[in-house]
């Protein structure tokens, strides 16, 4: 790839990194479910404070009576902090409720009584979900769908101040009970809309190393553990997007959803940082160290949530799927998990020289941003005069916003390196590490979708005009995601050159994604037997309505709804209509059953004799490779396929394409092409 092409694909990387926001939420949290006890008591306290004199039966005593009720609410706070849940319920349900019935006029009682009842339920839930961890007690909430949920549990100390760009360390122990009832802040990242477009502003915090846990509302112990790593191009996403309460109950598992440092906070290599630090800290792979730290937390604590630390499945999608593979090749993660599922893995382990170049560019931009230098040319010269100590102090003095902006492009997207082949945390590039055979050999599923790159097309090429006077961004108008609505034929007339271009670019780039993953699967199979592959095809003609079937099809991350459940916050399910309900629900039930069996045993066929056999990947010619997941409007369509793609064959075909089709295709292939 020439220098011009490299600049093009690097400039486009932020668009890919927004992939998380298609897959989004497995389930929306049910707001009607009782919140945590502190939230419930806060609401009651606010309502009491808002009472006017006229709300009391004896206005002259209203001030004293209000203070008495507020004091008793504070007493309830104190009781629940000490774990005296029964006493807290009695004081709330009897003492405070009695005073409200006695002192407050009837027209004002109903709202307060409702809040008291919510508080009682919340405290009872806290009593059922209080769990010991290595650092203190936590309690959860009713997560809905027959599951308990614990949110915002710290697995490491906030990586702020002197802990920025350091290996994660244990969190500070706490006394009393930590009410883990609400999602914590995401890690620092750009804001995007549903179509993944950066909004040129930031959200989140460096204080973000927390995890969420879901488990069924049963007394079952020794349950399989499902450890989820979110996607988002390593620069976006968070645990709050994954309410896996339904999945935890349906699969009868303990589900852990983690957050990890993103962008330049998660991956940042510079020789000036940590010159006397450990090999982990010198690696630049801080996010990978976060994942390993979270896995160690699981090993020590998950048994208290009913999970089996000796039966942990790591899983992730997109960038998260690639980090699953990185955990497989990291010697530091050995023994911390026992099975792996990599969905639509996307990423690369950059050479350490490339990572150093990215951090050097960030420093140069910072020098211009704060006025130390007038332009990047001067900054490049100036930075070469700085000592290692000066560089380290300079970087540590900058705010999270400044660090993030130092690697942001004009569109507001982060373009930093992620995952570095440092030789210690990540010993090599993915292919070379797997070829060596020196990796964590465990049963693994690797899969992708049939039309991975179709949803990316309007993002990459949205500003390019079509022959009909529109632009490729108007694909969203055809799908009804933007207004005004237009038809497919208005945008792309049938048999037009534009349609041919769209088909060629998206087909080759999607097949290239599969080829890259097929290559990893083939290498792994050379060293172990328990290797499975899937090819998700739902969303195309015969399963989804037009024009979704043509424009998006089985796009990136659309398999998420089928493995975990249906939702109302993903672009994939705009194709969910009554007409295809039977077929897609049958496919969901089958895919969920395979996943459950694999997480339990390492064999997706366990107790699934009613489903087609999911055969292991074979490296033999014309032998079974991947199971195909598809459905028509009424039934699932699942079968084994012997189709395997190779990167070399696709590259050869793309090289023979005319311009600009060739360049546009390579732009969509970049994520597996750079290193």
Structural domain that includes position 630: 443-672
pLDDT at position 183 is: 86
Q: What is the pLDDT of residue 196?
A: 64
Boundary (domain end) residue, out of 102, 129, 156? 129
Note whether 675 and 9 are within 8 A (CB): no
In a domain, 211, yes or no: no
Residue 407 phi, psi dihedral angles, 5° rounding: -125, 20
Q: Half-sphere exposure of 268 toward its Cβ, with a 13 Å CA cutoff?
A: 27
Cα separation of 213 and 216, whole Å?
11
Q: Who's near 262: CB < 8 A, 6+ residues apart? A: 187, 188, 189, 204, 232, 234, 235, 236, 237, 287, 414
Among 129, 160, 183, identify where a domain stops.
129
Pairwise pLDDT comparison (653 vs 32), residue with the higher score: 653
Please tell me the least confidently modeled range out of 8-22, 103-117, 194-208, 525-539: 8-22
Residue 675: pLDDT over 50: no
pLDDT by residue (tens digit) across 327-345? 999 999 999 999 999 999 9
Cβ 362 vs Cβ 370: under 8 Å: no
Statement: residue 146 has pLDDT above 70: yes
Give the integer Cα–Cα distance in Å for 558 and 231.
Answer: 13
Strand-pair category, 254-258 with 223-229: parallel
Q: For residue 491, give the nearest of 506, 504, 478 by alpha carbon.
A: 478
Q: Determine the 3-state secondary structure of 239 from DSSP.
A: helix
Confidence of residue 569 (pLDDT cuts 50, 70, 90): low
DSSP letter for 424, please. S
Task: Compute the distance between CA of residue 288 and CA of residue 276 in angstroms, rounded to an integer.
Answer: 20
The per-residue pLDDT for 408 is 84
Question: CA 12 to CA 382: how far, in whole Å?
Answer: 29
Mean pLDDT of 588-603: 98
Of 129, 156, 186, which marks where a domain is finished? Answer: 129
Q: Is the peptide bond before 474 cis (omega within 30 degrees of 0)?
A: no
Cα 518 from Cα 509, distance rounded (Å): 14
Report the greatest alpha carbon distance in the chain.
Answer: 90
Q: Looking at the predicted structure, is the pLDDT value of residue 374 above 90?
A: yes
Better-predicted residue by pLDDT, 210 or 9:
210
Q: In whole angstroms, what is the distance from residue 400 CA to residue 396 CA?
A: 10
pLDDT confidence bin for 32, thresholds 50/70/90 = very low
Task: Kindly state whether residue 565 falls inside one of the protein's structural domains.
Answer: yes
User: Does 10 have pLDDT greater than 70?
Assistant: no
Annotate 519-532 with b (16+ C-beta within 10 A) or e (fewer): bbbbbbbeeeebbb
- Does the residue 604 lie in any domain? yes
Integer angstrom CA distances of residue 539 from 534, 574, 632: 15, 10, 9
- In this structure, the chain runs to a length of 675
**Tens-digit pLDDT profile for residues 233-292:** 999 999 999 999 999 999 999 999 999 999 999 999 999 999 888 999 999 999 999 999
Q: Is 386 inside a domain boundary?
A: no
Domain for residue 136, yes or no?
no
Phi-psi region of 252 (alpha: psi -120 to 50; beta: other; left: phi over 0): left
Nearest 5°: CA angle at 294, between 559 and 142?
65
- From CA 560, how far away is CA 569, in angstroms rounded? 12
Mean pLDDT, residues 501-518 taken together: 97
CA 582 – CA 573 distance, rounded (Å) = 14
77 within a domain of the structure (yes/no): yes
How far, in Å, CA of 656 to CA of 651, rounded? 9
193, 130 in Cβ contact below 8 A?
no
* Count of C-beta atoms within a 10 Å radius of residue 459: 21
Q: What confidence category does residue 26 fall into, taking pLDDT thresholds of 50, 70 and 90?
A: very low
pLDDT digits (tens, 9 = 90+) for 526-558: 999 999 999 999 999 999 999 999 999 999 999
Q: What residues contact 233, with CB distance under 8 A and at least 6 apart?
A: 13, 14, 16, 17, 18, 19, 20, 318, 319, 346, 418
Sign of CA dihedral 248, 318, 301, 597: positive
Q: What is the pLDDT of residue 459?
A: 87
Residue 74 forms part of a structural domain: yes
DSSP 185: P
Q: For tokens 């792994």, name the residue.
A: 524
Number of domains in the chain: 2
349-359 pLDDT, tens digit per residue, is 999 999 999 99
The per-residue pLDDT for 192 is 78
The verdict on residue 346 lying in a domain is no
């Amino acid at each position: 790839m020439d220098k011009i092409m490299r600049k093009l694909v690097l400039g486009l990387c932020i668009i890919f990194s927004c992939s998380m926001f298609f897959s989004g939420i497995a389930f929306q949290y049910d707001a009607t479910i009782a919140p945590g006890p502190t939230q419930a008591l806060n609401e009651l306290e606010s309502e009491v404070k808002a009472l006017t004199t006229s709300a009391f039966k004896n206005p002259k005593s209203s001030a004293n009576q209000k203070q008495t009720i507020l004091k008793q609410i504070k007493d309830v706070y104190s009781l629940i902090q000490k774990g005296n849940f029964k006493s807290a319920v009695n004081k709330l349900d009897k003492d405070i409720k009695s005073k409200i019935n006695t002192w407050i006029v009837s027209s004002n009682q109903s709202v307060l009584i409702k809040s008291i009842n919510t508080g009682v339920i919340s405290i009872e839930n806290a009593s059922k979900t209080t769990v010991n961890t290595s650092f203190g007690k936590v309690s959860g909430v009713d997560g809905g769908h027959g599951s308990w949920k614990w949110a915002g549990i710290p697995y490491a100390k906030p990586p702020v101040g002197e802990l920025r760009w350091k290996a994660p360390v244990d969190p500070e122990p706490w006394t009393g009970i930590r009410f883990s009832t609400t999602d914590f802040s995401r890690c620092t990242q750009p804001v995007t809309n549903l179509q993944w477009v950066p909004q040129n502003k930031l959200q989140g915090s460096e204080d973000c190393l927390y995890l969420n846990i879901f488990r069924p509302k049963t007394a079952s112990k020794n349950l399989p553990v499902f450890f989820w790593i979110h996607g988002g191009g390593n620069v976006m996403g968070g645990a709050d997007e994954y309410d896996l309460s339904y999945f935890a109950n349906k699969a009868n598992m303990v589900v852990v959803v983690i957050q990890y440092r993103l962008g330049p906070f998660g991956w940042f290599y510079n020789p000036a940082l940590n010159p006397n630090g450990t090999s982990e800290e010198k690696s630049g792979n801080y996010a990978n160290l976060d994942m390993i730290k979270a896995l160690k937390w699981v090993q020590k604590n998950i048994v208290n949530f009913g999970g089996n630390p000796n039966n942990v499945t790591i899983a992730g999608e997109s960038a998260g799927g690639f980090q699953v593979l990185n955990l497989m090749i990291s010697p530091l993660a050995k023994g911390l998990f026992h099975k792996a599922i990599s969905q639509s893995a996307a990423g690369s382990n950059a050479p350490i020289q490339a990572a150093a170049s990215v951090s050097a560019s960030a420093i140069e931009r910072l020098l211009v941003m704060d006025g130390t230098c007038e332009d990047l040319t001067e900054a490049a010269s100036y930075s070469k005069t700085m000592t290692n100590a000066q560089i380290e102090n300079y970087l540590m003095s900058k705010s999270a916003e400044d660090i993030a902006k130092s690697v942001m492009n004009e569109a507001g997207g982060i373009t930093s390196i992620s995952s570095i082949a440092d030789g210690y945390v990540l010993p090599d590039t993915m292919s070379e590490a797997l070829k060596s055979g020196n990796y964590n050999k465990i049963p693994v599923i690797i899969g992708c979708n049939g039309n991975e790159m179709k949803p990316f097309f309007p993002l990459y090429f949205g500003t390019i005009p079509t022959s009909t006077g529109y632009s490729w961004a108007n694909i969203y108008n055809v799908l009804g995601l933007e207004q005004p609505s237009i038809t497919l034929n208005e945008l792309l007339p049938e048999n037009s050159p534009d349609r041919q271009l769209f088909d060629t670019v998206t087909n080759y780039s999607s097949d290239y994604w599969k080829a890259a993953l097929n290559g990893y699967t083939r290498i792994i199979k050379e060293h172990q037997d328990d290797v499975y592959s899937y090819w998700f095809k739902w969303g195309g003609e015969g399963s989804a309505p037009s024009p979704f079937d043509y424009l998006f099809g089985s796009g990136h991350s659309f398999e998420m709804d089928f493995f975990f459940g249906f939702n109302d916050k993903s672009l994939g399910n705009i194709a969910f209509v009554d007409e295809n309900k039977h077929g897609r629900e049958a496919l969901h039930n089958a895919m969920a059953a395979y996943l459950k069996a694999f997480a339990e045993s390492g064999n997706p066929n366990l107790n699934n004799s009613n489903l087609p056999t999911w055969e292991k990947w074979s490296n033999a010619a014309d032998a079974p490779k991947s199971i195909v997941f598809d459905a028509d409007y009424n039934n699932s369509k699942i079968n084994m396929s012997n189709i395997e793609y190779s990167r070399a064959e696709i590259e050869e075909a793309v090289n023979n394409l005319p311009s600009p089709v060739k360049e546009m295709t390579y732009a969509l292939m970049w994520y597996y092409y750079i290193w």
